Amino acid sequence: SDVKPDGTKMDGVGRSGDDINEYNLSAAYDVSTASYNQNFSVSAQEANPRGVEFKPDGTKMYVVGTSGDDINEYNLSTAWDVSTASYSQNFSVSGQETNPYAVRFKPDGTKMFVTGTTGDDINEYNLSTAWDVSTASYVQNFATGDSTQNAIAFSDDGTKMYTSGSTLDYIKEW
């Protein structure tokens, strides 16, 4: 899932509905105040969505899943409103990960990181045009020691990376 930077919206992946579910938070960053708002189906591009990421300004959404083994890019005509999303393009990561679960971007959109349950690594890509997945190129990977990676996150300044997987069942800080 992903959270709007001001903490007032939260978006999560609906695996059984093949959609992105949007919630409003009446108190910023307090999930106990969440109320369902709406959803957006991604089933035409991904039958098994696992992760979602947004451009910091909310005008782009990226969905990763295990059916297409790719990153699907959507444009949002109204920032942070998933009902205004329209499919743009995709980028296959199947050469590095055949069960992708999570995608994260460098805040300026020039790097993309993908992890999943097939590899025990984080895959790094450069984007020659920021936020445009069609310009992605594979750079390298980083082994985490957990054979079923589920998630990846970074500190705001990019100096720390956090990974989690279901084999070791804990969060690692790098």
CA distance 43 to 107: 27
Cα 59–117–88 angle (5° rounding)?
25
Q: Output the pTM of the full model.
A: 0.89
**What residue spans of 17-168 are helical by DSSP H?**
none
With 70 as the cut, is the pLDDT of residue 16 above it?
no
Phi, psi of 171 (to 5 degrees): -95, 130
CA distance 98 to 69: 6
Nearest Cα neighbor of 147 from 127, 123, 167 is: 167
Give me the percent of the chain exceeding a pLDDT of 70: 95
Average pLDDT over residues 113-117: 91
Query: For residue 87, what pLDDT is reported?
Result: 97
What are 139-169's pLDDT values in tens digits? 999 988 877 878 888 888 889 888 887 776 6
Residues whose CB is less than 8 angstroms from the CB of residue 52 and which lie 6 or more positions away in sequence, other chains included: 1, 2, 11, 12, 13, 20, 61, 62, 63, 64
Output Rg (C-alpha) for the chain, integer angstroms: 15
Query: For residue 15, what pLDDT is reported?
Result: 62
What are 30-83's pLDDT values in tens digits? 888 989 888 888 988 998 899 899 999 999 999 998 888 999 999 999 999 999
Reported as type and span, the H/E element at residue 116 is strand 111-116
Letter for the amino acid at 44?
Answer: A
Query: Which has more pLDDT, 150 or 113?
Result: 113
In contact, 123 and 135? CB cutoff 8 Å: no
